[in-house]
Structure 1
Amino acid sequence: MTEATHQAVAPNTPELATLRPLVTIVEEESGFTLTAELPGVPKENVRVQVENNVLTLEGEIRLQTPEQMKSTHAEIGSAKYKRAFTLSRELDSTKIEASQRDGVLTLHIPKAEHAQPRKIEVQIG
């Protein structure tokens, strides 16, 4: 799995600050576990997509100031998290599982059947 570097911007879309979420990737015998930090992003604003062997993680945060309050300083009011990875053909993108808890998105990306280690029994005689 390698990080992809292409980005596309939709026309007539207001530009949000784009942040790269911190990501940890751990390889296991059966596949990979990828965790991405998306603090403040609600589940309904998280998008995980695979297209042409590119896994894209996106999340959007919009912080609202209560009506009775006025912001004197805001470094980020709205932001978009985005990160993309090119998946190896050794991975089965049709079986990716995703979950989110406490601002952390976790993906389990299994290895394809043909790429998983298998034990071969040795016959005697």
Structure 2
Amino acid sequence: MKPSPSVKRWASADPLSEPLPIGSVKSNMGHLETASGVAGLVKALHCIQHRVVPATIGVNIVNPNIKLADWNLDLVTSNRKLRKAGKLIIGVNSFGFGGANAHVILESPCLAQASVREPASAGSAAARRLGA
């Protein structure tokens, strides 16, 4: 088994950097066929919002052809807290039904740019528009 070019770049970029945490949503939910990409996207959004990576369950033995240490990868087998502040970048791969493959990269919003909206009070114009 050979690593993809992106894994090679990650592993060689900075040998002192922390390993890249990797995991799968399939072990938690099973085969979702055409919805597999959506499940991965939801997991990635959860990671960004809560700054925790859910465990990939059911991993007892790692395939010896997957060189986690050599490729600077870390298989997340228990819930993993991410740093409390700063930018997070998460990639989602989906190898889907019928050979349809997709990849998306998500980045956490910059706190200075993120707008926090307060819930509309019952008598406000926004609440009336929403039918509250």
Please indicate the TM-score interval, normalised by the length of the shorter structure.
Answer: under 0.3
Q: What is the TM-score when the length of structure 1 is the normalising length?
A: 0.26
TM-score, with normalisation over the residues of structure 2? 0.25
Greater RCO (Cα-Cα under 8 Å, separation 6 or more)? 1
Give the structure with the larger strand fraction.
Answer: 1
Higher fraction of helix:
2
